[in-house]
Amino acid sequence: MEHKERAGPVNRLSACDTGVMETIAEQFTGVVLVGGGSSRMGANKALIRFGGEKLLDRVVVRMQEAFARLILITNDPDKYNYLGLPVIGDIYPGRGPLSGIHAGLCAASTPYIFVVACDMPFVDPKLALYLARQAPGFDVVVVRDGPYLEPLFAVYGRGCLEPIESILRRGLRARVVDFFPAVRVKYIERGNLSDFAGVDKVFMNINTPQDLERALQFLE
């Protein structure tokens, strides 16, 4: 299991975070993985309504609070051009989120990217910036909760490219974490993030109509 659902309110950036954001902006590109067929949802989950807005729009707005550069990864770009953002397709299509991370790293002009899935409605910009600040000296920064990792709200550096490509070139659909043994990974323990009031629901993702109903219960 790579992506765990949890449950808690979203922090917003304050004026005092402006300097941090400007520094991070030089090093990071935000990457939103728009995803594939949404077969379990029965509809394109990126475009479903979450409260008064599309789910993808909600994620994009929150990512833009943290990162000045933002790109979308999708193989169906025409549906998302309305956002006015760069839209990049997979170089190795059909290989799941790992190919999206790879495409984001190839497209970004910065040494790091911050990756989030489009089905995570409670993105916390402050937590994203906190993880970004842990990046120097590492190729991956990822939250760990016991035996589980949260690789779709995480930092990836350019040092990840070669290990990821070595997996994708084999033609296999691999888990995101399969290349971690080949790079420098900094694990941030979930239990150490209690200062972030909304951390319990940041990692909640929506794959099914039941997930959507449950997430809407946490909508403020």
* Residue among 113, 102, 118 at smallest CA distance from 38: 118
Element (H, E) at 21: helix 18-27
Exposure of 149 in the CB half-sphere (CA atoms within 13 A) = 16
119 is in an annotated binding site: yes
| Phi, psi of 32, deg, nearest 5 | -105, 120
Q: Say whether 127 counts as a known binding-site residue.
A: no
Q: Is 57 annotated as a binding residue?
A: no
**70 near 104, Cβ under 8 Å?**
no
Instruction: Provide the b/e sequence for 180-190 (b: ≥16 CB within 10 Å).
Output: beebebbebeb
34 appears as a binding residue in the annotation: yes
CB 157 within 8 A of CB 135: yes
Paired strand residues for 154 = 115
Secondary structure element (H or E) that encloses residue 13, with its range: none
Whole-number Å distance between alpha carbons of 184 and 152? 17
| Binding site as annotated, residues for Mg(2+) | 119
| Binding site as annotated, residues | 33-35, 45, 90, 119
| Binding site as annotated, residues for GTP | 33-35, 45, 90, 119
